Structure 1
Amino acid sequence: MGTARRAAEAGLNTIWVVFLVDYLARLAAADRRAHWLVTHLDELAAVVLPMFRTLQVLRLVTLPRVLGRSIGQGFRDRVAMYTGVSTLLLLYLGALAILAVERDADGATIRSFPDALWWSG
């Protein structure tokens, strides 16, 4: 395994650990843990299932609520739009990158852009 691949895997694993710690900390801080767990199944999926990890970016949509109620709807709309576009761009670029690496590799299972897009999701 090449150095770049090991570094990429280490980075992905580090990000996953950060998501896991964040999820567990918020679960522990919840007053009604069972209710919190049921109402945050999307975040559980993002931690447990690799294909849903990009959903963590969507948490930025809730940022204005954290900052305060005085922020206007226009700002929330822009954050939502930028978040959505950024997520799609990251998925697309990730798919292109994995396709470039895997397309001609011996024993690779990712040979087409749709396969790479599924992997990047």
Structure 2
Amino acid sequence: MDDDSRMRRWETRTAYPLAVASLLYLGTYAAHVLVPGWPPLVHLVLRSLQFGAWGFFILDYAVRWRFSGEGWRFVPRHWLDTIVVVLPLMRPVRIMNAYDRMERLRGASRLPLHGRVMVYAGVSAVLLGFAGALTVYDHERTAPHATILTFGDSVWFTCSTLATVGYGDVTPVTAWGRTAAVGLMICGLGLLGAVTGSFSSLLVQRFARGDEDAGPPGR
């Protein structure tokens, strides 16, 4: 069996387990950040589950690297997967891969391309926004001179940043908080561009189809 076949089998078998591990990682991190008053043993269990899920992400990356046969070229060619391994909080954004793989197994997608782009962008924005809000809140809440003191402040900052509005009423003061903000800005621009481009393409196709149905002038 060649490496391509083994790669496809691995991706098909791990699609749902990776999606569950992604939600587990995000959920345990959220519980650790939002409920700091739990006993140390509970936080230890949460951290153990979190790092266990991260280990699964690393294993998946290593196996696909091995099956790809690309050597070190795999890293730049799969840059998003590389970033996800380094920054596992971005892993939930890849949950939509499970949906795409199952649709490919059925041989057809239930949604048109434009619909898939919009759904993917919407789900990614929600998951990315939640993960970004947790990260900013985790690093900002105890920082000196911080303006992001509650999780609500962090959610508001994340939404305004992802939407590329940036009101500036609350801003991060720590290095990690600002790094997360830059990542949110980049992702927000990308998601906004994907949705806008897809919607514009859909309108052009609809108008073009309407002109074709109407026929030439004077007919």
Please, what TM-score do these two structures have when normalized by structure 2?
A: 0.40
Secondary structure of 2:52's aligned partner? helix
Confirm whether residue 53 of structure 1 aligns to residue 88 of structure 2. Answer: yes
Paired letter, 1:39? R
Could you say which structure has the larger radius of gyration?
2
**Number of the residue aligned with 2:122:** 81
Deviations 1:16-60 (A, max 9, x none): 101111111111111323332221233223323xxx222222323
Confirm whether residue 40 of structure 1 aligns to residue 40 of structure 2. Answer: no
- What is the distance in 1 between the residues matched to 2:117 and 2:128? 16
Name the Cα RMSD after superposition. Answer: 3.2
Change (3 A) 1:61 1:80: farther
Q: Is the 8 A contact 1:57 1:87 kept in 2?
A: yes
**Number of the residue aligned with 1:107:** none
Aligned length: 110
Secondary structure of 2:108's aligned partner? coil
The alpha carbon displacement at 1:63 in A equals 4.3
- What is the distance in 2 between the residues matched to 1:118 and 1:15? 24
Change (3 A) 1:94 1:79: same
- What is the distance in 1 between the residues matched to 2:139 and 2:83? 25
Q: Is the 8 A contact 2:93 2:127 kept in 1?
A: no
Change (3 A) 1:11 1:36: same
Paired letter, 2:92? V
- Aligned-residue sequence identity (percent) comes to 13
- What is the distance in 2 between the residues matched to 1:19 and 1:34? 18
The alpha carbon displacement at 1:86 in A equals 1.9
Change (3 A) 1:94 1:17: same
| Equivalence map 1:1-121=2 (5 Å) | 2-48=40-86, 52-66=87-101, 67-68=103-104, 70-71=108-109, 72-73=112-113, 74-93=115-134, 95-96=136-137, 98=138, 103=142, 110=143, 112=146, 113=148, 114=172, 115=174, 118=177, 121=180
- What is the distance in 2 between the residues matched to 1:45 and 1:75? 23
Q: Is the 8 A contact 1:60 1:79 kept in 2?
A: no
Range 65-74 or range 21-30, more displaced: 65-74
The alpha carbon displacement at 1:94 in A equals 5.3
